[in-house]
Amino acid sequence: MLVVRTIADLREALRPARREEASIGFVPTMGALHHGHEALMERARTECDVVVLSIFVNPTQFNDPTDLERYPRTEEADVAIAEKNGVDFVFMPSAEEMYRPGSTIEVRLDGPLVDSLEGAHRGSDHFHGVTTVVTKLFNIVQPEVAYFGQKDAQQALVIRALVRELDMPVRIDVVQTVREDDGLAMSSRNIHVKGRDRERALGLKAALDEAQSAYDGGERDAAALTERAVAAMKPFEVVPEYLAIVDRVTLQPVETVEPGALVVIAAPVGPVRLIDNTVIKDTAQLTRSA
């Protein structure tokens, strides 16, 4: 495995793979790697000839400087995890390498995909930062496939829209959320959730489970189902910033819940802000199929 820190070095390192027309899989991350990232690496290793993983804490997608400062950085451990999972190249550029002095480039999408939910609460500049850095990374790596986690469902939709609008020859593969044994969605921020807050964090999963349970019990009204999901968080002393049931493609709110609807949630827990989601399933149909 090779660790590279400049764009020129990565392009040079990938030159033989391009010459041989090898397929390149790309896993973009901000580091602090966990089992969720490992699932992305495993998928990439299975499907592609060459796997590139990037580690870059992108400053342009943080609306809170304190959040940027506190974001965990575990470079040595990350490199070991990447090597263990068969990554070929780890790209770890500096902010100055990615955004040269005087750079004014910004790649923006407009509309509900970037203005709603996370965009409404963190500001649409968050997603403008994401789309800018992803565009740059795709141009640098030029992968056939890029891998993202379902936990960041809105981000995955934004990136799919970006690829579609700019006609990028990249397939976006979204991998199912990986969870801790108790159900908490794995996140690099979980390192800051300790003690009682760690127990409280399970309120997000409890809300998602209650949404599915309410649907299984026959509830189809989105407002009523949302109310039950929010109530499930009260024993954990967690109040959501938002809990919404939306179309899983457009992110528009739905009034009647059907299989495939996306339940999304964000909530502050102690010193961090956590997000999670689930797709409503027709469990009766799944049982019949089994």
Rounded to an integer, what distance in angstroms lies between the CA atom of residue 68 and that of residue 167?
31
4: which strand partners?
A: 91
Q: For the residues 31-38, what does the mean pLDDT come to?
A: 95
Hey, which residues are catalytic here? 37
Rounded to an integer, what distance in angstroms lies between the CA atom of residue 137 and that of residue 128?
14
Q: For the residues 224-241, what does the mean pLDDT come to?
A: 98
Q: Give the model confidence (pLDDT) of 173-201 as tens digits.
A: 999 999 999 999 999 989 899 999 999 99
pTM of the model: 0.93
Q: For the residues 138-158, what does the mean pLDDT come to?
A: 97
Determine which helix (DSSP H) or strand (DSSP E) holds 207, and give its type and residue range. Answer: helix 202-216
Residue with tokens 């992305």, as numbered in its chain: 40
Question: According to the model, what pLDDT value does residue 253 have?
Answer: 97
Question: According to the model, what pLDDT value does residue 64 have?
Answer: 78
Q: What is the CATH number of domain 188-279?
A: 3.30.1300.10
35: annotated binding-site residue? Answer: yes
142: annotated binding-site residue? Answer: no
CATH 3.40.50.720 given to domain 2-175? no
Question: According to the model, what pLDDT value does residue 72 have?
Answer: 84
Parse the chain into domains and list their residue ranges. Answer: 2-175, 188-279
252: annotated binding-site residue? Answer: no
High-pLDDT (> 70) share of the chain, %: 98
Residue with tokens 């030029």, as numbered in its chain: 142
